[in-house]
A and B are shown apart, each in its own frame.
Chain A
Amino acid sequence: MAAPRSRADDELRPRLKREHALELLRQMLRIRRLEEKCAELYSAAKIRGFLHLYIGEEAVAAGAMQALEADDAIVATYREHGHALVRGIPAEKIMAELYGKQEGCSRGRGGSMHLFDAATRFYGGNAIVGGGLPVAIGLALADKLQRRARVTACFFGEGAVAEGEFHESMNLAALWKLPVLFCCENNLYAMGTALKRSESEIDLCLKATSYEMPAWPVDGMDVAMCEAAARRAALAVRSGEGPCFLEFRTYRFRAHSMYDPQLYRTKAEVEEWKKRDPIETFEARLKEQGLLNDAEVTAIEAAVADEIAKAVEFAEAGTWEPVESLTRFVYSDRTQP
């Protein structure tokens, strides 16, 4: 059930500079509108395979990404369009990837679940629940061994905490004091399985603290809170104190993937959470505080719409990788000396 907003939340919430607040809003809108377009294109059969939408959870990626530097690394899951977009992979390269075109960020080899980008150190798009955590540990280990003050942010759903790889990775990260920022996006359901039906202990932070790792829950519907928590955690991680665990409490508004009759939750529950829509509530609050007016919203929306239209245009104009190169990149291309 949706947690009610309390006075305490309002007091805790950091004060945002106007420019920055508008930027957070813009980032969330980019994700929302991109994904709404994706859903449409899926119905039009332009996008195929699995398509996991992040709609409802935008505040987490938009907020958390603010805490990362250009040379930090990200490991994400199959629900990663938002993370990729906010991290800086151009919308057009994401869209081309969803189309399966070779201009896509993974040359059309990965699709929706496997967005990769070396330029922004975006290490996927991992579609094995829990499978990205060990890789994140290793990226952080490389930084530690090479004495670089970088952070590896690892995003995963609460479903992953049931996997052995989660526990192995939490332990190893804490044991070796590795610079990993664990970002657990708790949207309450792993496909159709509610957390309370799959875990004997549903306090996720308790699991993390049992590995001697600082952990705290965050209102994942509030972008400012997400940013503040991630900044605080990233600071600690970057300064060499070891890993941190954040549990972002959020909610997925759409189906798990494109087709899902949602038998596992009530419409009323979804509607209740929609009242806390991270974009609408943030927009309303900014207006209330006099930081935003209707004209500005219109301008942001127009710019985002333009960006997405261009992305679709780019994807449409994209080309198919020749079948002859099907087996390229099974192994590295090597120019023998």
Chain B
Amino acid sequence: MSAQAKTVRMTYREAMRQAMRDALRRDPRVFLMGEDVGRYGGCFAVSKGLLEEFGPARIRDTPLSESAFVGAGIGAAMGGMRPIVEIMTVNFSLLALDQIVNNAAAILFMSGGQFNVPLVIRMTTGAGRQLAAQHSHSLEGWYAHIPGIKVLAPATLEDARGMLWTALEDPDPVLIFEHGSLYNMEGELAADAGAVDIDKAVLRRSGSDVSLITYGGTLGKTLAAAEELAGAGISAEVVDLRTLRPLDTATILDSVTRTHRAVIVDEGWRSGSIAAEISARIMEGAFYELDAPVARVCTAEAPMPYAKHLEDAALPQAPAIVECVRAMVGNRG
């Protein structure tokens, strides 16, 4: 970031709120709906203050009816509105799976292109806060399995600030997964930060020995691992996927073609994960470029435990990433 550019210090949470405020100001069709988004201020305080600013017609508290209010978002989107539906956490979104998979993702196709669903659904995902097995899972890779929706995972302040507007302008349903551990992340954001693209992966760090491919809540850990590896003489490139569907395969393959090695870091469970999908795409598109088998650092295959030491052990951590890369590249230190 250049020294002379004007920046503002804020958290990921504030960047997200700023994005919603901006959208609500720009487009009268936009409204926010979900459990406790209004009077309570949002389960994770993302929507705090918006009720006072925009009123109860546009900041709508809903009953505990995930299926009904997600479906209502679908209907409202088809009826000319631009709803932002907030679901407290990804685990609760399972109660709305029918609406997301059977309706939001399918109606455009089923109707032969007649009805598109310009709906944005935001939800918290991920572990790391000792919330145990019903509030901590990372199911975004699961959602990425479904054609008809787009799946975003903003991992930076810029993306938290910029992805929402682009998602709202999309004619089709977009799911935004906000990793719970990111809300308090603080940093500098350009004062004039605005919309960003939602279809390209980006390099968060350039390197030449290995591509570390990740997204969302594990970006920070992966960057930390890359830093440590640099100290050991291993140059790691870090690819932030940003969007899990559609996957930016070109950027992934391009990176792997340069580094010849790939480690995928994913907070989802390993089996049937987005990490598995990325690995398959590397096999399909860059097999002969590889100097080593693709490796994965994923969450242990168990529901998330409560105890801190167990939760830490279950999740991908920087040391495990470092270890994985060292095993692959060989020690150079």
Contact = CB atoms under 8 A, between A and B. Distances in A.
Interface stretch (B36-44, B100-108, B120-128, B280-288): B100-108
A109 B107 CA distance: 10
Interface in A102-134: 102, 104-110, 114, 116-118, 123-126, 128, 131, 133-134
Contacts of B3: none
A106 B113 CA distance: 8
Contacts of A105: 112
Given A134-B68, A145-B57, A125 B74 contact: no
B69 A172 contact: yes
Interface in B162-220: 171-172
Interface in B68-107: 68-81, 83, 98-99, 102-103, 107
Interface string A142-177: 110110000010000000000011001101100100
Residue among A102, A138, A164 having the largest count of chain B Cβ atoms under 10 Å: A138
A137 B57 CA distance: 15
B110 A114 contact: yes
Given A165-B67, A169-B71, A172-B65, A145 B76 contact: yes
B31 interface: yes
A132 B24 CA distance: 28
Residue among A109, A142, A143 having the largest count of chain B Cβ atoms under 10 Å: A142
B147 interface: yes
A106 B65 contact: no
A168 B64 CA distance: 8
Given A134-B99, A145-B31, A124 B71 contact: no
Residue among B63, B83, B103, B147 having the largest count of chain A Cβ atoms under 10 Å: B103
A141 B148 CA distance: 24
B74 A128 contact: no
A329 B112 contact: yes
B113 A172 contact: no
A108 B332 CA distance: 60
Contacts of B110: 106, 109-110, 114, 116, 124-125
A133 B71 contact: yes
A75 B115 CA distance: 13
Given A124-B107, A134-B72, A135-B75, 15 more contacts: A73-B79, A105-B112, A109-B111, A126-B102, A131-B71, A134-B67, A135-B99, A137-B75, A140-B75, A141-B81, A168-B63, A171-B68, A331-B172, A332-B116, A332-B172
Interface of A: 73, 75, 102, 104-110, 114, 116-118, 123-126, 128, 131, 133-143, 145-146, 152, 164-165, 168-169, 171-172, 175, 327-334
24 contacts: A73-B79, A106-B112, A107-B112, A107-B113, A116-B115, A118-B111, A118-B114, A124-B110, A128-B102, A133-B71, A134-B70, A134-B72, A135-B99, A135-B103, A137-B75, A141-B76, A141-B79, A145-B57, A145-B81, A152-B75, A168-B68, A172-B69, A332-B116, A334-B171
Interface of B: 31, 57, 62-63, 65, 67-81, 83, 98-99, 102-103, 107-116, 147-148, 150, 171-172
